[in-house]
Amino acid sequence: MSSGDPLAPVRARFPVLAPGHVWLAGAGPGDPGLLTLDALAGLSQAEVVVHDALVDKRVLALASPQARLEFAGKRGGRPSATQADISQRLIELARADRKVLRLKGGDPFVFGRGGEEVLALAAAGVPFRVIPGVTAGLAALAAASIPATLRGVNRAIILAAGHGEDEEFDWAPLARAGQPIVLYMVMRNLERISVAGKLTHNSFMATKRRAAAIGIAEKFPNERRCPVSRKNSRRYRR
Amino acid sequence: MSSGDPLAPVRARFPVLAPGHVWLAGAGPGDPGLLTLDALAGLSQAEVVVHDALVDKRVLALASPQARLEFAGKRGGRPSATQADISQRLIELARADRKVLRLKGGDPFVFGRGGEEVLALAAAGVPFRVIPGVTAGLAALAAASIPATLRGVNRAIILAAGHGEDEEFDWAPLARAGQPIVLYMVMRNLERISVAGKLTHNSFMATKRRAAAIGIAEKFPNERRCPVSRKNSRRYRR
């Protein structure tokens, strides 16, 4: 290894993924450049990578060539593994002394149901580690050069799930908080939520980019958006 | 390079930081393992790293040995560079054709004043790139094995600044949203905000861990916290 290798000190301090352990890691919003070093450490050591549908192929390509990739995804509207099945599979793999990486899009604890998996692992006595990732909603804002917070404009930012079991969820109190709302998994419900929360229609910016859709609540209309030119940053798009 | 090097494909696709460009990157909450690959790419190429007080020394140690580290931090209560000074310095460095990394703790667009710097760069015609990071408030929750969201418990999570110019900020509407609130930069104001927002005192979990302090609002009392044992994950603490 040449002394000029910027990654040598990183590799030297990679944490060790032990047999029988599960790392629950966020893969970030898609771009492998937004993967964390610890998630990469997991990918390079895992014998089994249990991933969901939102994990980008370019990220999975960083797994060890010896690793087995297992799809355990969920996708709106399609039949897929139940959450209990997935948790059970993680426990099985750990009990079979595999080195297990559970990889989820974004951050595993932000609308990723990582909490349920961690509860199941804890109940089963399986040692685990949670590795947070860059959450998709905030990354999508950054990709659009829109600051999540800006002095004099907003004091808070609300991350909310646009899809959930509770379709009767009352959006009005969140909207009345007067702070921008970033909606995840919202494309099917955008119109309904917009009406229920009395969010003004043209104050919404919806995008199908990855799993993230962004809603800007009524106190944050277009003219108060950070007027950053995208021209200067566009050259970096991939 | 041996074919078994897990980082070879990562290094091969490092984006290029060009002279006269500024990358505004999040360093994450402190642990270098939560640095993104793109932020590492910036550290390895930058000629000047302009960093704030919240960037961990272990992260700065990953900068190229040839890089100059410039402190441009702010810290509550201490005299420090003004925001205008910092933005002006970034523009100067870019105009002097340096490869510039502006490195901030957490995520540069989440209470990081990155928006103001990006506005200044855009106005000056300086090409820039924003690299989101793992925001400290969500990482702190993960470190405590507390899911930011959990089905059947909360549908949203609110990130809010506990410190700001607007000390008359009305916390009641955010508290009434009935969703957990993660408070940043709050240690000096915790008591006041708790009263103003009618947040129940023992529903707060405050921590001085890094810049993050975590408040759990009244709809999210202790008994509804995810009862994950920390025992299983503790062995991974550094």
Strand intervals (E) in chain B: 22-26, 48-51, 68-71, 100-104, 128-131, 156-161, 181-184, 204-205, 214-215
Among residues A66, A28, A39, A51, the alpha carbon closest in space to that of A130 is found at A39
pLDDT tens digits, residue range A98-119?
Answer: 999 999 999 999 998 999 999 9
Residue A185 bears catalytic tag: yes
Q: Which residue of A157, A176, A214 is the best one to mutate when testing the B interface, meaning the one whose CB has the most B CBs within 10 A?
A: A157
Identify the active-site residue in A31, A185, A187, A205. Answer: A185
pLDDT for position A124: 94
Residues of B in contact with A7 (CB under 8 A): 7, 10-11, 40, 44
pLDDT tens digit string along B61-92?
999 999 999 999 665 555 567 889 999 999 99
Is residue A49 classed exposed, middle or buried when 0-12, 13-18 and 19+ CB atoms within 10 A define those classes? buried
pLDDT tens digits, residue range A192-204? 777 666 665 433 4
How does pLDDT run across B40-56, given as a tens digit for each residue?
999 999 999 999 988 99
**B35 with A37: CB under 8 angstroms?**
yes
Quote the pTM value.
0.84
Beta bridge partners of B129: B23
The position carrying tokens 């408030």 is B137
For residue A202, the distance in angstroms to the closest alpha carbon of chain B comes to: 22
Look at residue A228 in the predicted model and tell me its pLDDT: 39
Active-site annotation holder among A74, A187, A205, A219:
A74
Instruction: Answer for the pair B181, B206: CB distance below 8 angstroms, yes or no.
Output: no
Q: What is the structure's pLDDT at A172?
A: 86
d(CA A86, CA A24): 12
List the single residue in B11, B138, B143 with the smallest CB-CB distance to A110.
Answer: B138
- Residue B72: partners with Cβ closer than 8 Å, 6 or more residues away: B50, B51, B52, B81, B85, B86, B89
Give the model's confidence band at B212: pLDDT under 50 very low, under 70 low, under 90 confident, else very high.
Answer: very low
Burial of B126 (0-12, 13-18, 19+ CB in 10 A): buried
Q: What is the pLDDT, as a whole number, of residue B121? A: 94
Task: Give me the pLDDT at residue B4, please.
Answer: 61
**Letter string b/e over residues B26-64, b meaning 16 or more CB atoms within 10 A of that residue's CB:** bbbbbbbbbbbbbbbbbbbbbbbbbbbebbbeebbebbb
pLDDT per residue as tens digits for the range B106-118: 999 999 899 999 9
B141-195: per-residue pLDDT in tens? 888 888 999 888 889 999 999 877 667 788 888 888 888 888 888 777 777 777 6
CA distance B202 to chain A (A): 22
pLDDT in tens, B7-63: 777 777 889 999 999 999 999 998 999 999 999 999 999 999 999 988 999 999 999
Q: What is the mean pLDDT of chain B?
A: 79
% of chain A with per-residue pLDDT over 70: 75
pLDDT above 50: residue B214: no
Q: 3-class SS at B56?
A: coil
Per-residue pLDDT tens over the stretch A150-193: 888 889 999 999 877 667 788 888 888 888 888 888 777 777 77
Give yes or no for residue A223 having a pLDDT over 80. no
Mutate to test the interface with A, among B45, B159, B189 (most CBs of A within 10 A): B159
